């Protein structure tokens, strides 16, 4: 209990804590090229821009084909799906069959990358194409897969043009977010953040 009387529960950090409370994350789809030349898509939420330059990273495990494909091909793609693409995003998480393929992938609307070999979810509001920069290992069984963005496209109806129209843009074209663990949210309202005077990134 703190000075204001708020109560807290101590979590056992000898186990993963991330399923004990909700937290907000992006919900996106990573695309890679398989060894046989076909494409793979996989949803990710532990993913983020890295710094203010054009670097992007996502957390993955070597057990997943996405991780191995990104290393072998030295490339991956990123698609930010729209709320009406929730089912497509979910289907990209389908487990592999005995032959190692995901049967649902062939039914998903994809387009090829223009610069790197990999699929992009057609209709997503942002497409990023990345060349593998490095992998940082050592987060338990996981590694941080980092790419340098070599191509980026934003759908015309999602492109910011004037800051004063941001709230209208978000209301008209909502964003899809992941509420870990196991929930999703549609963000259709935003507010200007109250930065203090003189703040600079």
pLDDT tens for each residue of 74-118? 999 999 999 999 999 998 887 766 666 666 677 789 999 999 999
The average pLDDT across 136-160 equals 96
Q: Under 8 Å CB-to-CB from 153, ≥6 apart: which residues?
A: 126, 127
- Answer whether the bond into residue 20 is a cis peptide, omega within 30°: no
Q: Under 8 Å CB-to-CB from 176, ≥6 apart: which residues?
A: 27, 80, 81, 82, 83, 85, 86, 89, 184, 185, 186, 187
- CA 111 distance to own-chain centroid: 18
Lowest mean pLDDT among 1-5, 145-149, 150-154, 168-172: 1-5
* Angle at alpha carbon of residue 96, lines to 95 and 100, rounded to 5°: 165
Burial class (CB in 10 A: 0-12, 13-18, 19+), 78: buried
Give exposure, 15-37, as e/b (b: 16+ Cβ within 10 Å): eeeeeeeeeeebbbbbbbbbeee
Around Cβ 95, how many Cβ atoms within 10 Å? 7
pLDDT at 193: 86
Out of 3.30.70.20, 2.30.110.10, 2.40.50.140, 2.40.33.20, select the CATH number for domain 23-157. 2.30.110.10
pLDDT at 14: 95
d(CA 24, CA 12): 21
pLDDT at 6: 81
pLDDT at 195: 87
196-200: long-range contacts, CB 8 A cutoff, minimum separation 24: none
Domain ranges of the chain: 23-157
Q: Under 8 Å CB-to-CB from 48, ≥6 apart: which residues?
A: 26, 56, 57, 58
Residue pLDDT, tens place only, 12-35: 999 999 999 999 999 999 999 999
């Amino acid at each position: 209990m703190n000075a204001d009387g708020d109560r807290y529960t101590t979590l056992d950090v000898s186990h993963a804590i991330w399923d004990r409370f909700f937290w907000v994350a992006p919900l996106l789809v990573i695309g890679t090229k398989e060894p046989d030349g076909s494409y793979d898509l996989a949803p990710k939420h532990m993913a983020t821009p890295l710094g203010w330059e054009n670097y992007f990273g996502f957390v993955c495990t070597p057990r997943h084909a996405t991780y191995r494909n990104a290393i072998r091909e030295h490339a991956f793609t990123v698609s930010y799906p729209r709320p009406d693409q929730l089912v497509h995003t979910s289907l990209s998480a389908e487990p592999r069959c005995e032959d190692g393929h995901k049967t649902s992938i062939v039914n998903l609307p994809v387009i090829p990358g223009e610069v790197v070999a990999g699929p992009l979810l057609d209709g997503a509001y942002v497409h990023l194409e990345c060349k593998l920069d490095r992998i940082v290992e050592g987060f338990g069984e996981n590694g941080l897969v980092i790419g340098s963005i070599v191509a980026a496209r934003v759908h015309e109806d999602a492109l910011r043009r004037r800051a004063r129209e941001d709230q209208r843009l978000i209301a008209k074209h909502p964003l899809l977010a992941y509420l870990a663990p196991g929930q999703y949210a549609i963000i259709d309202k935003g507010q200007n953040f109250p930065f203090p005077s003189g703040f600079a990134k």
